[in-house]
């Protein structure tokens, strides 16, 4: 297959906040782009994208496309798209490449790759680093793992949806790296909330702490702090990502840690905090709302107007 993207037929299954812009950017680039989603509301939004052909099932997508990206919100959704009665595994064929963008366990990623390979297809992981604004602007960073011989078919498409990519190893590797990258962010989220809570109790203005960390040049600065500390302090939901995704990712990281036989207390604390936040009814809140668990634990209001 030529690397000329105009000759490729590509699709995206999962037309949410990340997947729909990816599909739209493929269509905008002149690629024969297809989209699929089980949510009627997502399909209605996708119908407005010029050049995007909508199909009904993952199996139909596998028949129509050379490369199929899956960008899904949960482990259950990944299982349904790949292993369901109209799933990709049942429709696997020689020449098909599937590329999973969702953050899942590395063991699950390897199992999917083996199942697709049994049907003659090739499976990669093309994990996303970025947020909806980066997806819309085709500025995602892709962490890729799997059979490197499939890269010439997939990377020209990645170039239409992102700014850069890196192949990091065999199937599963990208998922572990993405979980570690996300895990750092979730630990930063908890540490930022704790720092702001203690400052509040000491009568220190949040703005003073934020200014010092941002501009002082010390080791406390992180991109998370820069983006979210002010919003956490004000109790704002800035719409960057839902908390249930954080719970999914930290639970997957907990399983990875257990499989490695390690005791990693910070990652364990993050998994517990996000799990408790979902149980407390915060699943659909912005993921920074995990800070509210500090208020529940201490019986005090630290963030926002009160």
**Domain boundaries of the chain, sorted by first residue:** 5-169, 176-298
Q: What percent of the chain has pLDDT over 90?
A: 93
User: Top-level CATH class of 5-169?
Assistant: alpha beta
The answer to whether the beta carbons of residues 24 and 49 sit under 8 Å apart is yes
Tokens representing 218? 């010390």
What residues have CB less than 8 Å from 240, skipping those under 6 apart? 131, 227, 228, 286, 287, 288
Known catalytic membership, residue 178: yes
pLDDT of residue 6: 59
In angstroms, rounded to a whole number, what is the distance separating the alpha carbons of residues 131 and 146? 24
Strands 52-54 and 32-36, sheet pairing: parallel
Q: How far is CA 271 from CA 238, 253, 266, in A?
A: 22, 8, 9
Helices (H) and strands (E) in the chain, counts: 13, 8
pLDDT of residue 1: 38
Indicate which residue of 178, 248, 284, 300 is catalytic.
178
Low-confidence residues of the chain, pLDDT below 70? 1-6, 305-306
pLDDT of residue 120: 97
Each residue of 5-21: pLDDT tens digit?
A: 657 899 999 999 999 99
- The CATH architecture that domain 176-298 belongs to is Orthogonal Bundle (1.10)
pTM assigned to the model = 0.91
């Amino acid at each position: 297959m030529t690397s000329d993207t105009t000759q490729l037929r590509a699709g995206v299954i999962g037309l949410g906040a990340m997947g729909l812009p990816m599909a739209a950017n493929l269509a905008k680039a002149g690629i024969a782009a297809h989209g699929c989603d089980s949510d009627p509301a997502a399909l209605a939004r996708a119908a407005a994208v010029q050049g995007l052909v909508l199909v009904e099932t993952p199996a139909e997508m596998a028949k129509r496309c050379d490369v199929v990206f899956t960008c899904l919100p949960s482990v259950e959704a990944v299982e349904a798209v790949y292993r369901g009665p109209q799933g990709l595994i049942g429709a696997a064929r020689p020449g098909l490449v599937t590329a999973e963008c969702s953050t899942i366990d590395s063991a699950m990623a390897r199992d999917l790759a083996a199942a697709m390979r049994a049907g003659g297809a090739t499976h990669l992981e093309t994990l996303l680093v970025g947020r909806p604004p980066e997806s819309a602007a085709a500025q995602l960073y892709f962490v890729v793992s799997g059979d490197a011989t499939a890269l010439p078919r997939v990377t020209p498409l990645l170039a239409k949806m992102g700014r850069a990519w890196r192949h990091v190893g065999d199937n599963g590797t990208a998922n572990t790296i993405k979980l570690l990258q996300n895990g750092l962010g979730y630990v930063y989220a908890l540490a930022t909330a704790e720092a702001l809570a203690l400052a509040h109790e000491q009568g220190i203005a949040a703005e003073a702490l934020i200014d010092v960390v941002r501009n002082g040049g010390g080791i406390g600065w992180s991109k998370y702090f820069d983006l979210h500390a002010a919003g956490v302090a004000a109790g704002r939901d800035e719409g960057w990502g839902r908390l249930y995704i954080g719970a999914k990712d930290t639970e997957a990281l907990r399983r990875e840690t257990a499989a490695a036989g390690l005791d990693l207390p910070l990652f364990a604390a993050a998994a517990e905090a996000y799990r408790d936040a979902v149980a407390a009814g915060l699943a659909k809140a912005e993921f920074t709302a995990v800070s509210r668990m500090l208020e529940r634990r201490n019986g005090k209001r630290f963030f926002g107007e009160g």
